[in-house]
């Protein structure tokens, strides 16, 4: 059967390479515009909607029972300038911990100085060390005995000012009080552990060398 001119024209038009190319080009433009709009929408979403910052309660294994337990405190994780931070909110209620996280993110959004670069005193590190001991199921009696001696001397001192001279003066003072070398060693070990923990939590830039062997 011979096709009509109209039918032949429609067939030629539909199969034309120019027509098909134009259709494909239009489709790609639409997809590109849609992708750009999606990216713009994501960028305009608030920080929490993009998943920046989260709360969690770390788990640990009880050394005595072997059971897996969960920390009573909520911790927060956030990033600043591409660097990840983990920080104890010291809150046991999630809504209260969320307020701490929002405040921290707001500080970062305002371009304020690194919140963990603020002046941290030894008393804060001592509390963090207590929390770690509890989380790991470790005994607190000896630690508390050491902290009872350390806190009156170092408690309100910014960690940036805890250096070799201050530590040596502490050792000399304790020896003058007639304290045994073993006791002084335990106290200095607690001091070093607190400072090292602060460094892991990015609260301390560097830890001064501490000779825990009293002489």
34-71 pLDDT, tens digit each: 554 544 444 344 443 334 689 999 887 777 788 888 88
Task: Could you list the beta-strand ranges (E) of the chain.
Answer: 54-56, 59-61, 68-70, 74-80, 83-91
Cβ-based neighbours of 92, under 8 Å, separated by 6 or more? 72, 73, 74
Confidence bin at 11 (pLDDT 50/70/90): very low
Is pTM, for the whole model, over 0.75? no
Percent share of the chain, pLDDT over 90: 35
Torsion of CA 81, 86, 91, 96, to 10 degrees: 30
Confidence bin at 183 (pLDDT 50/70/90): very high
62-76 pLDDT, tens digit each: 777 888 888 889 999
Cβ-based neighbours of 13, under 8 Å, separated by 6 or more? 19
Residue 24's pLDDT is what? 55
In this prediction, residues 154-173 reach a mean pLDDT of 89
- Report residue 4: phi and psi, to 5°: -75, 160
Q: Does position 7 have pLDDT exceeding 80, yes or no?
A: no
Where does residue 200 fall: left (phi above 0), alpha (psi -120 to 50 degrees), or beta otherwise?
alpha
Residue 98's pLDDT is what? 94
Residue 215's pLDDT is what? 58
Residue 8's pLDDT is what? 44
Confidence bin at 112 (pLDDT 50/70/90): low
Residue 61's pLDDT is what? 77
Closest CA to 198 of 165, 159, 168, 163: 159
């Amino acid at each position: 059967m011979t096709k009509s001119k109209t039918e032949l024209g429609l067939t030629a038009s539909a199969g034309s390479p120019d027509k098909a190319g134009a259709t494909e080009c239009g489709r790609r433009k639409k997809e590109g515009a849609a992708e750009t709009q999606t990216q713009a929408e994501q960028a305009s979403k608030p920080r929490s909607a993009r998943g920046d910052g989260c709360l969690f309660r770390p788990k640990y294994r009880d050394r005595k029972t072997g059971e897996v337990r969960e920390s009573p405190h909520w911790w927060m994780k956030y990033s600043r300038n591409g660097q990840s931070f983990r920080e104890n909110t010291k809150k046991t209620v999630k809504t209260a911990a969320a307020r701490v996280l929002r405040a921290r993110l707001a500080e970062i959004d305002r371009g304020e100085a690194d919140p963990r670069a603020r002046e941290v005193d030894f008393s804060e590190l001592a509390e963090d060390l207590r929390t770690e001991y509890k989380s790991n199921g470790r005994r607190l009696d000896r630690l508390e005995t050491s902290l009872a001696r350390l806190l009156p001397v170092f408690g309100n001192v910014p960690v940036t000012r805890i250096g070799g001279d201050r530590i040596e003066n502490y050792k000399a003072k304790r020896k003058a009080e007639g304290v045994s070398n073993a006791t002084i060693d335990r106290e200095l070990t607690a001091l070093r552990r607190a400072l090292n923990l602060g460094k892991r939590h990015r609260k301390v830039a560097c830890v001064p060398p501490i000779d825990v062997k009293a002489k």
